[in-house]
Structure 1
């Protein structure tokens, strides 16, 4: 199912649009721990397309849509490719400071704000690089970290849930409720995935201590 998962991811990248991969100037204030502003950079890498190699034989042509295309044991099998902007390597939460973790969390919360769940919020799907990819390597500063989310094969759109409920025509919001439940569960994963300290007390938060 890996290659079919890749196809779904490509469709989701296309539907996210260029706004998610554009660099913006300024800060955003997401409902994060401590509610500190975070840089409004790109959320996802630039998507360069989805490519398939058509396999042929002497007698037939195997379509990429054919189930056998994805489960062939032939030495001539070619997996689809999904080229993306180079955005570094997966994060190690224990190596990030509090502000870095908040910036990573903001990427997910910004997706939620625009009606998307990511579906696989793990450190391996959060990339980090120093500086912009166009910067000369020796000029990149460890204080200039850039983060991106990847892997959207399990991502879901709220618009799809709304449309599914409309087409069913029973007046219930079943699919929307499922989407919001998954969104809530994903938010709960933030502290665990990014290893925020527990209890979460920062400089701008007054501890709730009873004397």
Structure 2
């Protein structure tokens, strides 16, 4: 997992929002896909969350470190099942991602990365425009893409509507957003089925977002 590709330079989409195409090697992607399958088989598994107004998310999700549900984090699932532990490997990847995106590692004393959401998109799944605002910490969000290509819509911090920028995220891409863009609205209006690298054996898209919750206990 120490081998990252640097063939494409970072692209600043907005201040503090950086896209690094091809950041993960094919071997690193395959390793993460295998781990995601293990996490999906864990005690909690993957689930579609019901939103407060009754709608059900089309994306299936597994939580690591802390269990996310709209709109809070807990240490256990609603039925009392403990959340799966946060893998140290993802913390290491997040630290490297921040260093590569911004040219400097996380500052001393920064909140540790301690939660990851593993999202699975089938051909019909979408993610509406939203802010990642349930964390107490405002450390950058680290997003890794595996499998099918998606259109990632990165907006502004004030509204779900324009202005926004559509970015094509392919398997192995990294996207980091923090600083003035930490609270930007973002979403996935569509995926492109059948675009995953064949060697991954993945039908759909996996997205791993790694965050610092800022929570204790």
Q: Which has the higher helix share?
A: 1
Please state which band the TM-score falls in when normalised by the shorter chain.
under 0.3
Q: Which has the higher strand share?
A: 2
Q: Name which structure has the greater RCO, CA cutoff 8 Å, separation 6+.
A: 2
Larger Rg: 1
Q: Could you state the TM-score of these two structures normalised by the residue count of structure 2?
A: 0.24
Q: Could you state the TM-score of these two structures normalised by the residue count of structure 1?
A: 0.25
